[in-house]
């Protein structure tokens, strides 16, 4: 954006005009732009402004913003530059400085700028919606699996996983959207450069073009970052957690463009910028730099708390951008017409974010949760410790949804996503939800450890719960499209299965299976009842723990908390014969499920995975092998894949 403080220039012009008194008006001849371009130096400076050519030579040194700022207008059309900061009324009586007339492109420049903004709205927002509608309603359900749900590659472990899993775990559909946005961004940079070269002095071309496209990227980053009123789910059918990488890439592009725009303007013009423009520009530059720095993968993963806190600034960048644009107005009143499209773009994204934030805040505070059971501590009998609490919330929910939980007992203002085991969806009253989360074993300083210590002391749990979010079983598209489902889960990753299965197990014509490997017998004992509606042969439970500890049993006997007491022998006996003491053989289990579905005449089998990277990778390999075999059989069900994860 360009904005010149030309108050001194205008005042000087008026002084000369008034000094001329009642001098007779002289007829001004038409001057071509080729002639104007010859007067392009400080000693001979002409500029076309709103259809009149002014000789600015005598005012360069008098300009409060410095002579170089006026020199940028020499030999060119300075209309757009002037209208970013002043009204045309201020040039109404400066006939003494006028040397001729020129073509007035004011209206044309504003119209073409708005046409570009409308075209950007069509490409960045309308086109993805139309493509998604086409994929969902015209493409086959199997195409949807390959394009919209199946990841482009298997997840990796260690540093490589931390760095690249967010990329490889996204679907081809998300990758296509990213490529669409990147190509469109490059094209609109080109279009805006051509526009700026037509209507602006050369010094402004690239920083102004970067600024206009930065508006699109900042707005899109805001629209893809909301959780409830989410552009990606409502219109693109991408769950929030699956669209995070799209949000990340667009945000990074927005940061690059905004920083390039701001640095070029601040370095070139510096003190010559009006105070409001400079203040909002510096503020946006600093805010964007901070958000960008702590968004980088290596920093974000290691200082996640700092990332979350600094990311609270990100939506404010949207709102600040609106003020930055609006302040680029004429002193005579309204916004320059060429900026209306930019204001509309940012206003739409800001409105979406504000609506989402207000809705979520009202939901959190006006629909508080009431603890009806727990908190219950599940002991670390061969595995990790877990906390369980059942609450009621006066709001509807759906199976497989997740909630954002802020634990006041954990002495943290940060929220964390957890799948809710939906006991009652709340169709006739408050919904009833159970949350189970693992207490991190790396130290008591983490919020889960602090929460456990607080629960042990107070025997109660204070928390804020926002939601529901996510697509639940809708991750596979329309619920009736896939009649056979198998949940392959590990540890506390069983919660999506425990949430969904009780609501679908008894549906006629549906086959449902669960494959659950776990290390904590207490977790198994606590959550097993959620699978009671399934036939025994449809349940594959695998214990991979090492047994209990005397210290844990001793702590459980103190009676400070409602903590189940386990011994290794009793625990193994209580698990019963239905629990195998080995890891699940997925190459045996999943093909057998496929065969049962084939015998029932079902054409599609959904595999829902929630667990560590190794499990996701194994299931991906097995399902790919199953689909290769499926191609050779006319009746074998096609295997769909969905991985439940929050890959930040």
- Domain locations along the chain: 7-104, 107-362, 369-469, 474-643
CATH 3.50.50.60 fits 7-104, yes or no: no
Q: What is the pLDDT of residues 446-505, one digit of tens each?
A: 666 677 777 666 666 777 888 888 767 777 777 677 889 999 999 999 999 999 999 888
| Alpha-carbon span 635 to 604, nearest angstrom | 10
438 DSSP β-pair partners:
386
In order, the DSSP letters of 417-447 are EEE-EEEE--SSS-EEEEEEEEPPTT-TTSH
Q: What is the pLDDT of residues 312-332, one digit of tens each?
A: 888 888 888 888 887 765 444
Of 611, 613, 610, 620, which is closest to residue 586 (Cα–Cα)? 620
Of 528, 475, 468, 534, which is closest to residue 503 (Cα–Cα)? 534
Token pair listed for 255: 């940061």
Q: What is the pTM of this model?
A: 0.74
DSSP structure class, residue 195: H
pLDDT category at 646 given cuts 50, 70, 90 is low
Q: Which fold has domain 369-469?
A: Elongation Factor Tu (Ef-tu); domain 3 (2.40.30)
CATH 3.40.630.10 fits 474-643, yes or no: no
- The CA angle 402-408-409, to the nearest 5 degrees, is 110
Of 19, 14, 55, 22, which is closest to residue 36 (Cα–Cα)? 55
Mean pLDDT of 592-605: 90
> Cβ distance 185 to 216 under 8 Å?
yes
Contacts 24+ apart (CB under 8 A), 14-22: 14/90, 14/93, 14/94, 16/58, 16/94, 16/96, 16/97, 17/93, 17/94, 17/95, 17/96, 17/97, 18/93, 19/96, 20/95, 20/96
* Sheet architecture: strand order including 511-518: 579-580, 539-543, 511-518, 484-490, 604-610, 638-643
| Alpha-carbon span 129 to 232, nearest angstrom | 9
Q: What is the pLDDT of residues 424-459, one digit of tens each?
A: 887 777 889 998 988 765 445 566 667 777 766 666
32 has a pLDDT exceeding 70: yes
Residue 551 has a pLDDT of: 41
Residue 23 has a pLDDT of: 36
Residue 85 has a pLDDT of: 55
DSSP structure class, residue 630: H
Q: What residues have CB less than 8 Å from 154, skipping those under 6 apart?
A: 168, 616, 617, 620, 621
Residue 565 has a pLDDT of: 46
- The CA angle 264-299-470, to the nearest 5 degrees, is 100
């Amino acid at each position: 954006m360009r904005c010149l403080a030309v108050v001194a220039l205008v005042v000087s012009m008026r002084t000369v005009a008034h000094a001329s008194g009642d001098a007779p008006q002289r007829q001004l001849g038409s001057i071509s732009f080729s002639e104007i371009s010859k007067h392009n130096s400080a000693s001979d400076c002409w500029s076309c402004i709103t259809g009149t050519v002014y000789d600015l030579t005598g005012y360069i040194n008098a300009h409060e913003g410095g002579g170089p700022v006026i020199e940028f207008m020499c030999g060119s059309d300075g209309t757009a530059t002037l209208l970013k900061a002043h009204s045309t009324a201020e040039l109404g009586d400066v006939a003494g400085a006028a040397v001729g007339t020129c073509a007035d492109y004011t209206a044309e420049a504003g119209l073409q700028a708005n046409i570009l903004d409308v075209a950007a709205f069509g490409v960045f927002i309308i086109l993805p919606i139309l493509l998604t509608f086409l994929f969902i309603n015209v493409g086959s359900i199997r195409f949807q699996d390959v394009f919209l749900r199946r990841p482009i590659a298997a997840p990796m472990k260690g540093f490589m996983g931390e760095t690249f899993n967010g990329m490889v775990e996204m679907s081809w559909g998300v990758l296509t959207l990213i490529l669409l946005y990147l190509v469109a961004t490059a094209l609109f940079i080109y279009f805006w450069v051509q526009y700026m070269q037509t209507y602006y002095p050369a010094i402004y071309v690239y920083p102004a073009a970067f600024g206009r496209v930065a508006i699109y990227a900042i707005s899109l980053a805001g629209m893809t970052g909301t959780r409830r009123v989410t552009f990606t789910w409502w219109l693109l059918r991408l769950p929030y957690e699956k669209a995070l990488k799209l949000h990340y890439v667009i945000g990074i592009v927005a940061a690059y463009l905004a920083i390039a725009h701001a640095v070029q303007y601040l370095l070139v013009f510096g003190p010559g910028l009006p105070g409001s423009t400079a203040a909002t520009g510096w503020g946006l530059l600093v805010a964007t730099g901070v958000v960008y720095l702590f968004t980088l993968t290596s920093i974000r993963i290691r200082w996640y708390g700092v990332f979350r806190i600094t990311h609270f600034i990100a939506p404010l960048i949207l709102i600040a951008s609106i003020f930055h644009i609006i302040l680029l107005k004429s002193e005579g009143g309204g916004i320059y017409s060429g900026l209306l499209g930019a204001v509309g773009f940012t206003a739409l994204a800001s409105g979406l974010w504000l609506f989402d934030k207000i809705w979520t805040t009202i939901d959190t505070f006006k629909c508080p949760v009431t603890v009806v059971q727990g908190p219950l501590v599940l002991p670390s009998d061969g595995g990790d410790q877990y906390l369980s609490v059942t609450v009621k919330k006066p709001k509807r929910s759906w199976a497989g949804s997740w909630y954002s939980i802020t634990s006041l007992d954990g002495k943290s203002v940060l929220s964390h996503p957890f799948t809710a085991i939906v006991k009652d969806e709340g169709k006739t009253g408050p919904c009833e939800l159970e949350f189970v989360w693992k207490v991190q074993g790396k130290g008591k300083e983490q919020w889960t450890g602090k929460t456990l210590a607080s629960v042990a002391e107070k025997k109660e749990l204070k928390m804020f719960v926002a939601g529901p979010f996510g697509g639940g079983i809708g991750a596979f598209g329309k619920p009736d499209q896939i009649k056979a489902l198998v949940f392959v889960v590990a540890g506390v990753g069983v919660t999506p299965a425990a949430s969904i299965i009780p609501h679908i197990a008894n549906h006629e014509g549906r086959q449902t299976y669960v494959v659950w490997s776990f290390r904590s017998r207490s977790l198994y004992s606590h959550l097993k009842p959620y699978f009671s509606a399934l036939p025994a042969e449809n349940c594959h439970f695998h214990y991979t723990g090492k047994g209990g500890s005397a210290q844990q049993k001793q702590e459980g006997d103190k009676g400070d908390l409602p903590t189940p007491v386990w011994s290794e022998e009793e625990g193994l006996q209580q698990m019963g014969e239905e629990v195998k003491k080995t890891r699940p053989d997925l190459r045996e289990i999943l093909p057998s499920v496929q065969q049962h579905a084939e015998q029932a005449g079902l054409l599609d089998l959904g595999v829902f995975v929630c667990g560590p990277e190794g499990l996701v990778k194994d299931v991906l390999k097995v399902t790919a092998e199953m689909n290769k075999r499926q191609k050779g059989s006319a009746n074998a069900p096609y295997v769909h894949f969905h991985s439940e994860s929050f890959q930040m």
